[in-house]
Amino acid sequence: MAKWLDNAIFYEIYPQSFQDSNGDGIGDLQGIISRLDYIKELGCNALWINPCFASPFGDAGYDVADYYTIAPRYGTNEDARELFEQVHKRDMHILLDLVPGHTSVEHPWFRESMKAEPNEFTDRYVWTNSIWVEPEGMGSLRGISDRNGSCAVNFFSNQPSLNYGFYNIDKPWQQPMDAPGPLATLEALKDIMRFWLTMGCDGFRVDMAGSLVKNDPEGKGTIALWKKIRSFLEEEFPEAAMVSEWGEPDKSLQGGFHMDFLLHFGPSHYNDLFRCENPYFARDGKGDISQFVTKYLENYEKSEKKGLICIPSGNHDMGRMAKTLDPDEMKIAFAFLLSMPGAPFIYYGDEIGMRYLEDIVSVEGGYDRTGSRTPMQWGDGVNAGFSTASKEKLYIRQDESADRPTVKKQMEDENSLYWEIRKLITVRQSHQALQSKGEIQFVHAKEKTYPFAYMRSSDEEKILVVINPSNREESFAFDKKLGKAVYTLGGKVEFTDGIVKVPGCTVGFFEL
């Protein structure tokens, strides 16, 4: 087991937009290396790097053309090795983004699979047996080669679906999980993981982890497949960490993943918190956290209260938190994010309140996600310190507002979002109850009401977290006396005659 996950705080880096070291307008691995001290000073001790493998970049690198080679625009495999070494030198860890469900149409495997003559890669992808037959419920590529069949795609039409087999077979062209093609795909996946773990990475965040086996509505086939991966890892790389993009912790943890995400799509009610018409963490106090809590508890119970459900501040696939919350509201949101079970994930730039840029022309398949992928804003220099290239060459247009947040400005203001997050991380790391494996019990989380309160506990301590994002005083009944405050933000929380009174826009963490 990767013990370091117990107190991991992740920083997600979209490599194209983080730091350009060679003036070509695109971020790179040497740029990341140059900013590792910044990430460590913030308090993050783990990195998740979005895909950095060779790709035609039809989907920002999620369309892989070569799993074994760093994309030249980011550097070389030697740069990756140096990055891993520099991360470890700082007592940090790093996950690469693994895309096991599909490749680019430019991948050599796919070029071979398109051939009419049977070969080693004929069954590496999901093909029907006739050009006139499409896979149900999936898009497909048709009429692209002499092969008589349609190839399923997972997302964009440049992402043909790799074949791990079908759990329920109802068509003659569908293959079982133990057919030679699916087994070869599984072995290829192991080889890719083996290569990068041997190189020095600490594990993987796995893209679309729940989608590999087809016709698998209950996920039983996909769970069985990941159990095989877990057995391989236990034998060869027992310290390797695995975090899934699945959104169903009961399934992903059963399959051998250490952690799962609450996703912005699906039934999690994650968007109720920060990204909807009336976010719970907005000060107007019109939000509702009850459905989120109900779903969270359902997942928590299903995953045997392991609590390894990660709640990100954002990521490359959703609008920035600053689109719906201002910096003071974000401080309260981060008090929540950094006091919940599971590893927190901070999306680059969220720690300074970087904004979502509206109406940007899509870049590399970003579409409406592009506005959340703009270059990091470091300081006052050219392109806010991201790159020395002319602004026309930047990967994505930068926020050019005069009042755009930068690391430099935030560091100079002791009341900034940046410093509040640093403080919160220090508090979390000082209290085992607040870390990934500390248990949670919701104390006050009623429908359309404030405040929000929950108890975190470990063998050594219990801490009550009280959060009132609304701008009005609220209260709730509590049957234990509040002890020492280990963190406060806003007004003074008072406890009298079994009632906790919480001023507007106030947070308090209290020992019990």
pLDDT in tens, the chain (512 residues): 788 999 999 999 999 999 999 999 999 999 999 999 999 999 999 999 999 999 999 999 999 999 999 999 999 999 999 999 999 999 999 999 999 999 999 999 999 999 999 999 999 999 999 999 999 889 999 999 999 999 999 989 999 999 999 999 999 999 999 999 999 999 999 999 999 999 999 999 999 999 999 999 999 999 999 999 999 999 999 999 999 999 888 899 999 999 998 776 667 899 999 999 999 999 999 999 999 999 999 888 877 776 578 999 999 999 999 999 999 999 999 999 999 999 999 999 999 999 999 999 999 999 999 999 999 999 999 999 999 999 999 999 999 999 999 999 999 999 999 999 999 999 999 999 999 999 999 999 999 999 999 999 999 899 999 999 999 999 999 999 999 999 999 999 999 999 999 999 999 999 99
- Buried (b) or exposed (e) across 352-387, using 16+ Cβ within 10 A? bbbbbbeebeebbbbeebbbbbbbbbbeeeebbbbb
What's the topology of domain 102-163?
Oligo-1,6-glucosidase; domain 2 (3.90.400)
* DSSP for residue 281: T
Report the alpha-carbon distance of residue 75 to residue 57 in Å, rounded: 15
Is the full-model pTM beyond 0.95? yes
Helix axes of 327-337 and 417-430: crossing angle, nearest 10 degrees: 10
CB atoms near residue 7 (< 10 Å): 16
Cβ proximity of 342 and 294 under 8 Å:
no
What's the topology of domain 3-101+182-428?
TIM Barrel (3.20.20)
What's the topology of domain 440-511?
Immunoglobulin-like (2.60.40)
Query: Domain-by-domain residue ranges, the chain?
Result: 3-101+182-428, 102-163, 440-511
CB atoms near residue 218 (< 10 Å): 10
